Amino acid sequence: MPNTAGGVLKMTSKGGGVLRDPLFSFRKRPNDVAVPSRLIREYGLVEGAAVTGSIRKGPNGPELSSVESVCGLTPDAFCGRRPFKILTAIDPCERFHLAASGETSMRIVDLVAPIGKGTRGLIVSPPKAGKTMLLKQMANAIHADDPGTRIIFLLLDERPEEVTDFQRSVEAEVLSSSSDQSMQEHVDLAELTLAHIRTDLECGRNVVVLVDSLTRMGRAFNVKGSNSGRTLSGGLGAGALEIPRRFFGLARNIEGGGSVTIIATALVDTGSLMDQLIFEEFKGTGNSEIVLERSLAEAHIFPAINIRSSSTRKEERLYSEDESRRISTLRRALADLKPDEAMETLLRLIDKHPTNEDLLMSIPMGR
């Protein structure tokens, strides 16, 4: 047995806890390290904290005997962190330069709906409109632009082969539950991930979380709470979306601290009333929205972004003054076009100019 171990703390009903391994998406495993309640009280440990320390043989398996670090900090430094409830949220003011990746889709997102540290972004998508590829490109573009930012992909109720593809193709940590797992396992993953991200934020870190999808998260929590309250139209429980709303609402930029950026997908036009109700619950709760258009995807125009319907609130804080004026001029020129015409026009401009800077400088500005 190794002398040290680490993992993310999940509390148990008896006041103790266990360390869950993020490499296995926090799933329960036979060799999980038990954390006695004595250590939890002594070091002020909370659910979601990443804990490392010495271990010994306990009555039921490996057991933590001392704590060496919590969330990468000394135990004293962790206890001195600013708790979540006193952190001050401010508007995002530092942009991720997605366009620097050179990917056409990322150049367009940077112009249409920029992403900043602390953005709470929603990708509204019908099936097969390219949302998965967009998320993958975002992860890799953010990593290239800011390698110091931690990037987490949260995949819920996903096809197993898709999980493998994400693990092999994105520069991010992948936390996943696949479609052959129970609804309770999807719920457990979402809840522990929420707690884990919150402690990272308290410690001043910058974290990006890409969620696919809020729809499947909502479905899982709806099944969990199916016997605990009244049911609304579409089969959606009255309190089913409490945790998903808290998860999405965690995204924020902290004054004098770190940030949590969440970009999450929400499915529409699936033929399910429940899916539509879940989307309606989140509509307008973010500060950035990218809308994918079925008609563009069917015409094989990618990215299938509806430019007129996509935007970021207070985007001027993420651009220079000159960039903001030029982008406003560009959007006005595209506003009266149909979605496919607007995207094809922008794609031609992208092809003509090697960088977004060149494209914006080509836009004639009135005096």
Whether 346 maps to a domain, the answer reads: yes
Give the CATH number for residue 37: 2.40.50.140
Could you tell me the residue range of the domain that residue 145 belongs to? 89-361
Q: What integer is the mean pLDDT of 281-287?
A: 92
Task: Identify whether residues 67 and 103 lie together within a single domain.
Answer: no
Residue 271's pLDDT is 92
Q: What integer is the mean pLDDT of 347-364?
A: 96
Which of 80, 110, 144 is the C-terminal boundary of a domain?
A: 80
Q: pLDDT per residue over 308-333, tens digit each?
A: 999 999 999 999 999 999 999 999 99
Whether 241 maps to a domain, the answer reads: yes
Residue 230's pLDDT is 63
Q: What is the mean pLDDT of the chain?
A: 94
Spell out the residues 6+ positions from residue 21 whose beta carbon is closer than 8 angstroms to its own. 7, 8, 29, 32
Residue 143's pLDDT is 97
Spatial separation of the C-alpha atoms in residues 244 and 248, rounded to whole Å? 6
**Per-residue pLDDT at 233 exceeds 70:** no
Spatial separation of the C-alpha atoms in residues 195 and 197, rounded to whole Å? 6
Task: Identify whether residues 101 and 197 lie together within a single domain.
Answer: yes
Q: pLDDT per residue over 137-170, tens digit each?
A: 999 999 999 999 999 999 999 999 999 999 999 9
Split at pLDDT 50, 70, 90, the class of 228 is low
CA dihedral 301, 302, 304, 307 (to 10 degrees): -100
Q: pLDDT per residue over 45-77, tens digit each?
A: 999 999 999 999 988 889 999 999 999 999 999
Task: Identify whether residues 24 and 115 lie together within a single domain.
Answer: no
Task: Identify whether residues 323 and 299 lie together within a single domain.
Answer: yes
Nearest to 155 by CA among 106, 209, 107: 209
Residue 1's pLDDT is 53
Tokens in use for 82? 């600013």
Q: pLDDT per residue over 83-108, tens digit each?
A: 999 999 999 999 999 999 999 999 99
Task: Identify whether residues 227 and 344 lie together within a single domain.
Answer: yes
- CA distance to 117, 147, 209, 251, 286, per residue, from 93 (Å): 7, 18, 18, 14, 15
Which of 51, 80, 109 is the C-terminal boundary of a domain?
A: 80
Q: What integer is the mean pLDDT of 191-197?
A: 98
Whether 272 maps to a domain, the answer reads: yes
Which of 80, 104, 130 is the C-terminal boundary of a domain?
A: 80
The answer to whether the CB of 193 falls within 8 A of the CB of 152 is: yes
Split at pLDDT 50, 70, 90, the class of 39 is very high
